């Protein structure tokens, strides 16, 4: 019984057409001819939202700043990542001990990449 081989081409762009998909193999003597085209065209699916960024962590803290780092998402959804937005909540010490006091301030900063 012959074993089936598989291969996946990753990192392709969403909603994009690819043509002339064919394959060949090699042994110690040389290369085979190309196979017939499996299909004349193949089109990837429409883009979707990316998966979350990976390994998000604090890497440095000073008296007036916090530096973060992360890796790109596992799957970009089929299109390039155009922006990251970091959300955070500022909680002052007195907010920890008062009831009905000033609410926490929600702020955000953007990092374009």
5 or 110, greater pLDDT: 5
Rounded Cα distance, 81 and 79, in Å: 7
DSSP line for 63-87: SS-EEEEEE--S--TTS---EEEEE
pLDDT tens track for 43-99: 888 888 999 999 999 999 998 899 999 999 988 888 889 999 888 888 876 555 545
| 3-state helix vs strand vs coil in the chain, percent to 5 | 5, 35, 65
Distance of alpha carbon 22 from the chain centroid: 28
**Does residue 20 come out as left (phi exceeding 0), alpha (psi in the -120 to 50 range) or beta?**
left
pLDDT (0 to 100) of residue 8? 83
């Amino acid at each position: 019984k012959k074993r089936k081989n598989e291969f996946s081409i990753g990192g392709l762009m969403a909603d994009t057409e690819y043509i002339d998909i064919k394959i060949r193999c090699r042994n110690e003597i040389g290369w085979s001819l190309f196979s017939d085209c499996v299909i004349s065209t193949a089109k990837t699916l429409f883009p979707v939202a990316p998966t979350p960024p990976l390994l998000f962590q604090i890497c440095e803290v000073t008296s007036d700043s916090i530096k973060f780092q992360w890796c790109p998402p596992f799957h970009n959804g089929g299109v390039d990542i155009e922006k990251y937005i970091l959300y955070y909540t500022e909680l002052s010490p007195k907010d920890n001990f008062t009831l009905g006091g000033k609410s926490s301030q929600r702020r955000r900063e953007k990092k374009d990449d």
